[in-house]
Amino acid sequence: MTDKQALQRSGPAPDDDSVTVAFARTTRSTPWRLAAKIPLRFPTHHPQGMTLVGDRIVLSTVEVTQSPVRQPEPVDGHDRTPGSGIGHLLVLDRQGNLHKDVRVGADTIYHPGGVDFDGETVWVPVAEYRPNSRALVCRFDPHTYDVTTAFEVADHVGAIVRDRVTGDLHGMSWGARTLHTWTPDGSLLRSRANEDHLIDYQDCSYAGWRKQICSGITVLPGPDGRRHELGGLALRDLRDDRILHQIPFPHFSTAGHVLTRNPVALEVVDDTLRLLAAPDDGEDPAGTELFVYEARTS
């Protein structure tokens, strides 16, 4: 059975794209080579999601001006205050130069999450910075820089992907513990528990035919009292949320964060699978850097 045949579930389906096929060939033993490390010399705050639009990169990030504070007892169903901040969409080129800084969100809804480009529009969830809260699902035009709200959701939405076949939107709650699906106008089609308990997804992108690749992190307590980060990626079927392929990603940033901590994007160049990531915050000692890792998968 070929890689494409293994990915195509029952029923007719067009061929999967090169990123999906290449990712399905990776294993935990696949060697990844650091091809570039590009410093981003502008305010980046706390990066969240990344998507590729031709030769440009759209990076979502949250600027926290007042951190949420945990409360002794939940208030109105919330375990912490909303805090305050500003959501940003940063448009930059592949050399790390900033071209545009666009603000997103309103009032206590200031936390943009993982983003997805559907060929015309960048879809952006902007949420309160606390679980079980609320979010706006927004459209961002990467050419005019206009932002419009598509619909509002009664939950924190940390990442979103658009199904190119149905037009439906697939998002996930705080920590990706619940997976939601909405129509383009915001009608909820389903919500179900995430069967992946290994990784909390932070960023997702559409991949192949009705699939998505999600990246994320799990923070584990160690015997030395220090926290340890486990990173990984998963290929999932948007039709039934089933996990089709999953790998750890054991590479770390200058600040010591796992590469899949927050924004991740994948592409294929010739016979090489390329992973772009920006795991560190602007306040970290070396600031935010754009890491580019490559793996031969043919």
Q: What does the pLDDT look like over 152-189, one tens digit per residue?
A: 999 999 999 999 999 999 999 999 999 999 999 999 99
Pairwise CA distance, residues 217 & 95, whole Å: 26
- Does residue 11 carry a pLDDT above 60? no
Q: What does the pLDDT look like over 193-206, one tens digit per residue?
A: 999 999 999 999 99
Contact, 89 vs 78, CB < 8 A? no
Q: What does the pLDDT look like over 61-95, one tens digit per residue?
A: 999 999 999 999 988 889 999 999 999 999 999 99
- Does residue 30 carry a pLDDT above 90? yes
pTM over 0.85: yes
| Beta-strand pair 135-140/111-112 | unpaired
Quickly state the pLDDT bin for 225 (edges 50, 70, 90): confident
Residues 6+ apart with CB under 8 A from 87: 60, 61, 62, 63, 103, 104, 105, 109, 110, 111, 112, 126
Quickly state the pLDDT bin for 223 (edges 50, 70, 90): confident
Q: What does the pLDDT look like over 257-291, one tens digit per residue?
A: 999 999 999 999 999 999 999 999 999 999 999 99
Which DSSP category does 258 fall into? B
| Beta-strand pair 159-162/169-172 | antiparallel
Quickly state the pLDDT bin for 14 (edges 50, 70, 90): low
Pairwise CA distance, residues 124 & 62, whole Å: 12
Q: Hey, is 21 helix, strand or coil?
A: helix
Contact, 48 vs 112, CB < 8 A? yes
Pairwise CA distance, residues 24 & 17, whole Å: 11
Pairwise CA distance, residues 79 & 72, whole Å: 8
Four-way CATH pick for 3-7+14-68+78-296: 1.10.8, 2.115.10, 1.10.3470, 3.30.1490? 2.115.10
